Protein backbone atom coordinates (compact mmCIF):
# COMPACT_ATOMS: atom_id res chain seq x y z
CA UNK A 1 0.00 0.00 0.00
CA UNK A 2 1.35 3.42 -0.97
CA UNK A 3 0.48 6.94 0.11
CA UNK A 4 1.21 9.87 -2.21
CA UNK A 5 1.03 13.42 -0.90
CA UNK A 6 1.11 16.93 -2.28
CA UNK A 7 1.73 20.01 -0.13
CA UNK A 8 0.60 23.55 -0.87
CA UNK A 9 0.00 26.81 0.90
CA UNK A 10 -2.35 29.74 0.61
CA UNK A 11 -2.72 33.12 2.25
CA UNK A 12 -6.18 34.22 3.30
CA UNK A 13 -8.07 36.50 5.67
CA UNK A 14 -11.16 35.83 7.76
CA UNK A 15 -13.11 36.61 10.88
CA UNK A 16 -14.38 34.06 13.36
CA UNK A 17 -17.11 34.29 15.97
CA UNK A 18 -15.96 32.21 18.92
CA UNK A 19 -16.26 32.08 22.70
CA UNK A 20 -12.57 32.61 23.45
CA UNK A 21 -10.17 35.23 22.09
CA UNK A 22 -13.29 36.97 20.82
CA UNK A 23 -11.94 40.46 20.17
CA UNK A 24 -9.03 39.47 17.95
CA UNK A 25 -11.01 36.70 16.23
CA UNK A 26 -13.88 38.98 15.22
CA UNK A 27 -11.50 41.46 13.54
CA UNK A 28 -10.41 40.73 10.01
CA UNK A 29 -7.06 38.98 10.21
CA UNK A 30 -5.06 36.63 8.03
CA UNK A 31 -2.85 33.59 8.06
CA UNK A 32 -0.56 31.61 5.84
CA UNK A 33 -2.14 28.17 5.74
CA UNK A 34 -0.26 25.02 4.81
CA UNK A 35 -2.13 22.01 3.50
CA UNK A 36 -1.35 18.47 2.47
CA UNK A 37 -3.55 16.08 0.53
CA UNK A 38 -2.85 12.37 0.27
CA UNK A 39 -4.11 9.48 -1.81
CA UNK A 40 -3.60 5.87 -0.89
CA UNK A 41 -3.59 2.69 -2.90
CA UNK A 42 -1.66 0.05 -4.73
CA UNK A 43 0.43 1.04 -7.72
CA UNK A 44 -0.86 0.18 -11.14
CA UNK A 45 1.41 -2.57 -12.53
CA UNK A 46 1.47 -0.94 -15.97
CA UNK A 47 2.22 2.66 -14.92
CA UNK A 48 3.93 1.98 -11.61
CA UNK A 49 1.78 4.75 -10.06
CA UNK A 50 -1.06 4.94 -7.59
CA UNK A 51 -2.04 8.20 -9.29
CA UNK A 52 -0.16 10.40 -11.70
CA UNK A 53 1.23 13.18 -9.50
CA UNK A 54 0.49 15.61 -12.33
CA UNK A 55 -3.23 14.93 -11.81
CA UNK A 56 -2.91 15.52 -8.08
CA UNK A 57 -0.97 18.76 -8.62
CA UNK A 58 -3.63 19.93 -11.07
CA UNK A 59 -6.40 19.28 -8.51
CA UNK A 60 -4.39 21.02 -5.79
CA UNK A 61 -3.90 24.10 -7.96
CA UNK A 62 -7.66 24.39 -8.51
CA UNK A 63 -8.43 24.34 -4.78
CA UNK A 64 -5.49 26.59 -3.98
CA UNK A 65 -6.85 29.23 -6.33
CA UNK A 66 -10.27 28.92 -4.66
CA UNK A 67 -8.68 29.88 -1.32
CA UNK A 68 -5.53 31.91 -1.98
CA UNK A 69 -5.76 35.65 -1.23
CA UNK A 70 -9.48 35.33 -0.46
CA UNK A 71 -11.66 36.54 2.36
CA UNK A 72 -12.65 33.10 3.62
CA UNK A 73 -15.92 34.35 5.10
CA UNK A 74 -17.12 34.84 1.50
CA UNK A 75 -15.96 31.53 -0.01
CA UNK A 76 -19.08 29.60 -1.11
CA UNK A 77 -19.65 26.25 0.63
CA UNK A 78 -16.87 26.79 3.20
CA UNK A 79 -18.97 27.80 6.18
CA UNK A 80 -17.19 29.21 9.21
CA UNK A 81 -13.48 29.47 8.29
CA UNK A 82 -12.25 26.85 10.76
CA UNK A 83 -9.43 24.41 10.13
CA UNK A 84 -12.00 21.61 10.15
CA UNK A 85 -14.11 23.30 7.47
CA UNK A 86 -11.02 24.05 5.39
CA UNK A 87 -10.11 20.33 5.44
CA UNK A 88 -13.61 19.38 4.33
CA UNK A 89 -13.67 22.10 1.65
CA UNK A 90 -10.37 20.87 0.21
CA UNK A 91 -11.59 17.27 0.24
CA UNK A 92 -14.80 18.24 -1.58
CA UNK A 93 -13.00 20.37 -4.16
CA UNK A 94 -10.54 17.60 -5.02
CA UNK A 95 -13.37 15.03 -5.07
CA UNK A 96 -15.26 17.14 -7.65
CA UNK A 97 -12.16 16.70 -9.82
CA UNK A 98 -12.43 12.92 -9.56
CA UNK A 99 -9.81 12.21 -6.90
CA UNK A 100 -10.67 10.55 -3.59
CA UNK A 101 -8.34 11.59 -0.80
CA UNK A 102 -7.08 9.38 1.99
CA UNK A 103 -6.06 12.29 4.21
CA UNK A 104 -6.27 16.09 4.28
CA UNK A 105 -4.31 18.25 6.72
CA UNK A 106 -4.38 22.01 7.19
CA UNK A 107 -2.11 23.85 9.58
CA UNK A 108 -0.75 27.25 10.48
CA UNK A 109 2.97 26.96 11.09
CA UNK A 110 3.29 30.15 13.12
CA UNK A 111 0.60 29.32 15.67
CA UNK A 112 1.19 25.56 15.78
CA UNK A 113 -2.48 24.77 14.98
CA UNK A 114 -3.19 21.69 12.86
CA UNK A 115 -6.23 19.71 11.77
CA UNK A 116 -6.24 16.39 9.95
CA UNK A 117 -9.25 14.84 8.22
CA UNK A 118 -9.28 11.09 7.64
CA UNK A 119 -12.28 10.65 5.31
CA UNK A 120 -14.36 7.59 5.98
Q: Where are the domains of the chain?
A: 2-117
> How far is C-alpha 116 from the geometric centre of its chain's CA atoms?
9
Cβ distance 64 to 4 under 8 Å? no
Q: What is the pLDDT of residue 66?
A: 97
User: Mean pLDDT across the chain, nearest whole number?
Assistant: 94
* CA–CA dist 73, 40 (Å, integer): 32
Q: What is the pLDDT of residue 115?
A: 98
Q: Is the pLDDT of residue 117 over 90?
A: yes
Residue 24 has pLDDT above 80, yes or no: no
pLDDT confidence band for 18 (50 / 70 / 90): confident
Q: 2-117 architecture in CATH?
A: 2-Layer Sandwich (3.30)
Q: What is the pTM of this model?
A: 0.93
Amino acid sequence: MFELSQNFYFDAAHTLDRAIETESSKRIHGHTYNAEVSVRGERDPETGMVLDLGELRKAVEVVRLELDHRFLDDVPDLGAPTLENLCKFIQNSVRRQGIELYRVAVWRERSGDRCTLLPS
